[in-house]
Amino acid sequence: MGYVNISQLSQFIPATDFVKIGTGTWTSKLTSNVLCLERAAAAADIQVYVPVSLMSSPIKTQGAKILSLDLWFKIAAAEVDMLMPACFKTTLSANGSPVSAAVYEDVISDAAHSAPLAAGTIGDHKMSLTFTNPPFFLEDTIYSFGFAINGTNLAVITLFGAQVSYLLRL
């Protein structure tokens, strides 16, 4: 008996699931019937992490294989420096061992967001991150995407959510 591949699956990740680090107040809003999180202009830089939770397996060739992640956000009032996003692979260790994370290098950004200044322009954004060597989610492994936004003292940042695209192999 072989595997069954289900391709072109996707899962939405609401902005309320994002982990936000840095000072400033995030407010849940309903804007034109769209749920979002908005951060008013503040002097502190921020970091945002998008956790991805998909089916995993102890077998390296089955479970969910992450292909890409799309992130929707808006920058208003002033441009910011948005640092290149990174993917982090976190390993949940056995009892008594520390949880560890490393940068997963095989991720590229779309052309419109490949430079920090382009990603931080005023306007509505959809940033797409694609795996060049897509991994299967292994048991006790978590992937998250993080990005930093600097120079936010005049900018209003709105997060709408993310969508992960993946293949499922059972």
Give the C-alpha separation, 137 to 155, whole Å. Answer: 36
Residue 126 is predicted with a pLDDT of 95
Give the C-alpha separation, 45 to 26, whole Å. Answer: 13
Residue 29: partners with Cβ closer than 8 Å, 6 or more residues away = 35, 36, 37, 38, 158
Residue pLDDT, tens place only, 81-106: 877 788 999 988 888 888 889 998 88
Q: What is the DSSP string of 113-124?
A: GSSHHHHTSSEE
13-22, 115-124, 144-153: which has the minimum mean pLDDT? 115-124
Mean pLDDT of 57-82: 89
* Residue type, position 147, single letter: F
pLDDT of residue 1 exceeding 60, the answer is no
Show the domains of the chain with their CATH numbers: 5-169 (2.60.120.260)
Mean pLDDT of 126-138: 91
Mean pLDDT of 70-86: 88
Residue 44's pLDDT band, with cuts at 50, 70 and 90, is confident
Tokens at 158, concatenated:
């709105």
Residue 117 is predicted with a pLDDT of 67
Long-range contacts for 109-118 (Cβ within 8 Å, ≥24 apart)? 109/84, 109/85, 113/82, 114/84, 116/81, 116/82, 116/83, 116/84, 117/79, 117/81
Q: What percent of the chain has pLDDT over 70?
A: 98
1-5, 50-54, 55-59: which has the minimum mean pLDDT? 1-5
